[in-house]
A and B are shown apart, each in its own frame.
Chain A
Amino acid sequence: MTAYLLKRLAISLATLVLASIVVFAVLEILPGDPARLMLGMNASADQVELLRNQMGLNQPLLLRYLHWAGGLLSLDFGRSYTYSVPVIDLVRERLAVSLPLALIALALSTIIAIPVGLFSASRRGRAGDTISMGAAQLGVAVPNFWFALMLIYVFAVWLRLVPAGGFPGWSAGISPALKSLLLPAVALALPQAAILARVTRSALIEVLNEDYIRTARAKGLPYRTVLWRHALRNAMIPVLTILGLQFAFLLAGTIIIENVFYLPGLGRLVFQAITQRDLIVVESVVMLLVAAVIAVNLVVDLSYAVVDPRLRSRQ
């Protein structure tokens, strides 16, 4: 188990170093000058050069990479070109929105998907299965920005239960903050739940065909117990894999939903930083996300071992 852990950690570190080189190189190739963007069309070339010097953009490439990567090691993510505040502060502010949002959406998605998957698998081929899988198909197919707009029109414009968008900040109190995250979380959760329900169903169906299920039934266990205790637990591995992927996606890939609800999340920070060529923000945030994805994968790998004792001994 320890050897397994060490190996996983070494791979993770190597991935991080590689990612930092790729991220830095790709953004260097990207055309566009942050200094010109800040000064606009009326500034002279001399002035742009002056600002480039002030921003340290005229230093050699390697030096800048080492400076940045060295900073990352000591958890110093640099200062944003455009906002001129430490990147870590920006990230912390955005995570205060993105992390709870991702967690709520993930929880919602799981709460909806697992029972639906169970229900469908146990009624395989019957009307209930067809209806719920049809609904899941629809959930995957409906564009989530459209679904988000429909939610806004119904719950914010018509019923006026929640705000149409924006985020008041946690300082405004738990309840208003949660209220403003509710619709975006639902909009994010539904397509994820649809995918997860389908995965749960097919994993369960596969397990339900196994011999030990028949044995369990034969020894007189009720169907419900077999489903929950024997089948679901064995079907968890693909479900956990998908959950891990979904969490990584929900953390940063939610730019469209963030735009529709004008939430100050991580996705929008990255998007804005790319359009403004705030390279240091893009680089640092992407690295943080890479680290987060690697960490999530590690946790998922470890959780396999928790769910399935056979994996523990094999290592």
Chain B
Amino acid sequence: MKLWKTLLAAAVLAVATATSAFAARTDLVIGIPLEPPHLDPTAGAAAAIREVTYANVFEGLTRIGPNGEVLPDLAESWTISDDGKIYTFKLHTGVKFHDGADFSADDVKFSLDRARAENSVNAQKQLFAAIDEVDVVDPATVKVTLTHPQGSFLYNMGWGDAVIVSPKSADTNKEKPVGTGPFKFESWAKGSSITLLKSDHYWGAPVFLEKVEFRIVPDAAAAVPALLSGDIQAFPFFDPDSVSQVKDDPRFKVVVGATEGETILSINNKQPPFDKLQVRQAISYALDRKAIIDGASAGLGLPIGSHMSPANKYYVDLTGHYPHDVAKAKQLLKEAGLENGFKATLKLPPTTYARLGGEIIASELRDVGINLEIIPVEWAQWLDQVFTKKDYDLTIVSHTEPNDIDIYARKDYYFNYDNPTFKKVIADLELTSDEAKRKELYAQAQKILADDAVVGFLYELPKVGVWDAKLQGLWESAPIPANDLTKVKWSE
């Protein structure tokens, strides 16, 4: 009798567990390394803001997909005038902001005008520079007139900085973000975590998760036990050096994808002797990209030969332009009158890839006679001394903005590079909408940068993600900073 009872209890328990296992989980805890300073993507450059809000809380006219493609978002469709200057967007109807306010063309006009206004502190104001006028045609139609045709306009509108906000909540989005996305902001325990809940009245395809918590885990050493204990189920941006600790564990999936982060050895092109082409070329020949990727990025990351991600559709492979060749580098230095070598400084920001890569690069350049003094700097110092005041010889940094080859054409940019031919190519690109022509121009731009050896092109920063093997739908690559949760679900 007693045994019978026990067996029955066991059976009931087994059935109960089995049924609960059929109902897939709907909660998720995601680990992020940096806490966002606030949650308004239209008022700050921090990638962490987008890693929480992009596609989840806020939406734009268009959006960027997992492979960098432009997809319709709040704009259901659009037409472009023949001269390429007028974009007419047809908007989705029945869309509501999380606070209940209705979304309409007025909000689009408000958001775009706000971003490009005189007193705007949008971190990517250049995205809106071509806009001449925004007109509301009717509540579901918006007409954007540009001062000149702009090939990248639809792409630009997909950035996190171009999301549509409501005039009612725009000023409070930093603390309490209100968007039109499938998840609404629930709470933010400063220093600890940010919680989003599924929105009740989402206009688009319903999402699978009910509750998502972004937990801030700044220490890479803490990420591993957090995964192992099950406290946190996904780290979309994981430290490459810690991958070896989890990669053989069947409970987890390790996914290596691409980012838009071109990691480069930046060179101050006006600072002698780096103003000489031979010296810059000598540096390019002296670099052994494989050794740098192995040492700075645990062997993960693709080598680059110019300023373009190998995942980008405009990419041209120029990695063979300057093969690792110490003799050639020495000969070039001799031609430049520097056969006895010289001394220079290498300022390193606090990121792991810079600190580790810097040691390797210093030793590689020593082999050709360039003695580098390594100066570690904080990020704030780097922005101040290197980026703003251009007080540097060499530095290592990853340029993570997508499709940003135009930075080499910018006036007063910290490379101090000034090539009229390159500027012309970029100016033409801005005016060209024809895809074949754009591809050709992008190829030219990449070639010019490689020829001029403007900087030492190293590798594309990898995106290493580690998450529970039962979790599906997280982005493999990071064409823009985001943790898009719209397709994420638990299997079983």
A201 at the interface (CB under 8 A from B): no
Shortest C-beta distance, B254 to chain A (Å), equals 18
CB within 8 Å for A40 and B45 given contacts A32-B378, A260-B219, A264-B191:
yes
- In the assembly, what is the distance between CA of A73 and CA of B228, in Å? 48
Pick the interface stretch among A155-163, A230-238, A239-247: A155-163
For B216, B228, B380, the residue with the greatest tally of chain A CB atoms inside 10 Å of its CB is B380
Contacts of B401 in A (CB 8 A): 41-42
Q: Across the interface, do A94 and B191 meet the contact criterion of CB distance under 8 Å?
A: yes
How many residues does chain A have at the interface if contact means C-beta atoms less than 8 Å apart? 52
Shortest C-beta distance, B364 to chain A (Å), equals 26
- In the assembly, what is the distance between CA of A83 and CA of B48, in Å? 13
B244 at the interface (CB under 8 A from A): no
Contacts of B35 in A (CB 8 A): 272
Contacts of B215 in A (CB 8 A): 166, 262
Q: Across the interface, do A31 and B385 meet the contact criterion of CB distance under 8 Å?
A: yes
Q: Across the interface, do B190 and A164 meet the contact criterion of CB distance under 8 Å?
A: no
Q: Across the interface, do B225 and A36 meet the contact criterion of CB distance under 8 Å?
A: no
Q: Across the interface, do B191 and A165 meet the contact criterion of CB distance under 8 Å?
A: no
A33 at the interface (CB under 8 A from B): yes
CB within 8 Å for A153 and B225 given contacts A42-B126, A165-B231:
yes
Contacts of B229 in A (CB 8 A): 152, 156-157, 160, 163-164
B15 at the interface (CB under 8 A from A): no
Contacts of B123 in A (CB 8 A): 38-40, 42-43
CB within 8 Å for A260 and B380 given contacts A47-B121, A83-B37, A169-B192:
no
How many residues does chain B have at the interface if contact means C-beta atoms less than 8 Å apart? 46
B421 at the interface (CB under 8 A from A): no
Q: Across the interface, do B124 and A42 meet the contact criterion of CB distance under 8 Å?
A: yes
- Mask: chain B, 334-364; 1 = CB below 8 Å from A; 0 = not: 0000000000000000100000000000000
Q: Across the interface, do A51 and B121 meet the contact criterion of CB distance under 8 Å?
A: yes
- In the assembly, what is the distance between CA of A90 and CA of B37, in Å? 13
A17 at the interface (CB under 8 A from B): no
Contacts of B191 in A (CB 8 A): 93-94, 263-265, 268-269, 272
Seen from chain A, the residues whose Cβ lies within 8 Å of a Cβ on chain B are 30-34, 36-45, 47, 50-51, 54, 82-85, 90, 93-94, 145, 149, 152-153, 156-157, 160, 163-167, 169, 259-265, 268-269, 272, 275-277
10 A-B pairs with least C-beta separation: A40-B45, A32-B380, A264-B191, A82-B37, A164-B229, A264-B192, A259-B219, A164-B225, A157-B228, A152-B225
Seen from chain B, the residues whose Cβ lies within 8 Å of a Cβ on chain A are 35, 37-38, 44-46, 119-121, 123-126, 174-175, 189-193, 215-219, 221-222, 225-226, 228-229, 231, 350, 378-381, 383-385, 387-388, 399, 401, 404, 412
